[in-house]
Amino acid sequence: MARTASLSGFPEWLPQERLVELHVLDTLRKTFELHGFASIETRAVETVGQLLRKGEIDKEVYGLSRLQEDDDASVGEGGKSDKGDPNALALHFDLTVPFARYVVENAGYLAFPFRRYQIQKVWRGERPQEGRAREFTQADIDVVGDGELPFRYDVEIALVIAEALSALPIPDFRLRINNRKLAEGFYRGIGLTDTPGVLRSIDKLEKIGPEKVAELLKSELGASDEQASLALQLAAIRSEDTSFVEQVRALGVKDDLLEEGLIELEQVIEAAVQRAPGKVLADLSIARGLDYYTGTVVETVLVGHEQLGSICSGGRYDALASKGNRKFPGVGLSIGVTRLVSRILSQEFATASRSVPTAVLVALNNDDSWSAAQDVAAQLRGRGIATEVAAKAEKFGKQIKFADRRGIPFVWFTDDDGKHQVKDIRTGEQVDADPASWEPSAEDLHVRITTA
């Protein structure tokens, strides 16, 4: 992790680091599948119009075009990447917008509510820094309905993510949860009609502080001192139980949408207190910058590593996907896998026991023994033991050193009489062995991810 990348914002892992990332990905996949989520993958490219129809992130989208354009190249099929042209092509910046398009196009083939998980690369033109990359992996889960989607899925998604994150080699975490209906209803109730604008200002609280947010509310949205004060009082409310409900009502604001959001958030927190105690926090400062969220919104932080930013975020979107009069409401959360793995590696929260999957190197007595060595390797691989064969019949000491450099724990020897022995190069112990029955210890059979 200390090495300098040749191109900032595009992380690449060494083999031992990649094994840690694979452990994270496998853990997430297994958890998602245990809860019945099916895997999909969408294309890396979408049209600019598709990507930008919700949210203000056009400065972060990478346009796509060929280096040399044909005179008759049609826009949207390799033509000039012009963000003003909705048919121009661009790389997706998240997995939610492409998923909404996927649902609309494949609605006739999907069973609703449709539960999907998606683990894929995305690209975003941000300034590279710790926790922020230009190319990174996300792991998303979503449930989408046809026409309607019961609110209970908002609760379930939060619990699944809490379970998935609990299985990873990371510090303690908190899902900070709010509800856009609650926030928008409150702002409307105090007379601030530009609720998306208020949300965008509140979303900057942690970056610029309450005083500057208050100035933004007054200068850009025309809020009075009292309105700005009430908006900030709402954002200051946090609780690990449902006590936030009375704290909000104590502010004296009345609005039907506010009441609806309060009830929804109360259900999420109530379920989390029971099934994921200590992992969820009602935090009424959470806004989420993208405009497509309509209800529950979530951001997740590692305790003691809050400066890293959110490692998992998302929420409810009721209007992102539609086909004519047919609506496909959904709720989903996205884990920033690359952000998590970067912190796991830099803080050594987890390490791989070796840098390669290989457990055994079959040594060569001479160049003529290569075929027999392949037979031994085939027997070992047939029983699930990852095995390599040495490429050259060098001195045994050199072959052992090669295995040591690779992180391979065992070296296999076969003498001219066909007798087999295996050496644990870590301890020096060498014993007779039969390729048809020998087994390494369970700890050495596969790469192990050990936690600090």
Q: Which residues are annotated as a binding site?
A: 94-96, 124, 138, 142, 288, 292-293
Q: Which residues pair with residue 37 across a beta bridge? A: none
Task: Please give the Cα distance from 394 to 401 (Å, whole number).
Answer: 11
Instruction: Give the integer Cα–Cα distance in Å for 74 and 128.
Output: 33
Contacts of 317 (CB under 8 A, 6+ apart): 96, 100, 292, 293, 294, 329, 330, 331, 332
Bind-site residues for L-histidine: 94-96, 124, 138, 142, 288, 292-293
The residues near 181 (Cβ < 8 Å, ≥ 6 apart) are 257, 258, 260, 261, 264, 294, 295
State the CB neighbour count (10 A cutoff) for residue 268.
27
Query: In 10 A of CB 92, how many CB atoms?
Result: 25
How many CA atoms, within 13 angstroms, populate the side-chain half-sphere of residue 206?
14
Long-range residue pairs from 372-381, CB within 8 A, at least 24 positions apart, any chain:
372/414, 373/412, 373/414, 376/412, 376/414, 376/420, 376/435, 379/435, 379/436, 380/412, 380/435, 380/438
Please choose, from the candidates 163, 142, 175, 169, the residue with its C-alpha nearest in 3D space to the C-alpha of residue 30.
163
What is the DSSP secondary structure assignment for residue 129, as one 8-state letter?
B
In contact, 158 and 289? CB cutoff 8 Å: no
Q: How many CB atoms lie within 10 A of CB 411?
A: 22
Q: 107 — phi, psi (to 5°)? A: -55, -35
Residue 420, strand partner residues: 414
Do the bridges between strand 173-179 and strand 280-283 make them parallel or antiparallel, or are there none, so unpaired? parallel
Longest dimension (CA), the chain: 93
Q: Which residues, 6+ apart, have CB-to-CB distance to 3 below 8 Å?
A: none
- Give me Rg for the CA atoms of the chain: 27
> How many Å separate Cα 341 from the centre of its chain?
10
Which segments within 318-447 are labelled E, that is strand? Answer: 322-323, 326-327, 330-336, 350-352, 360-362, 387-389, 410-414, 420-424, 430-432
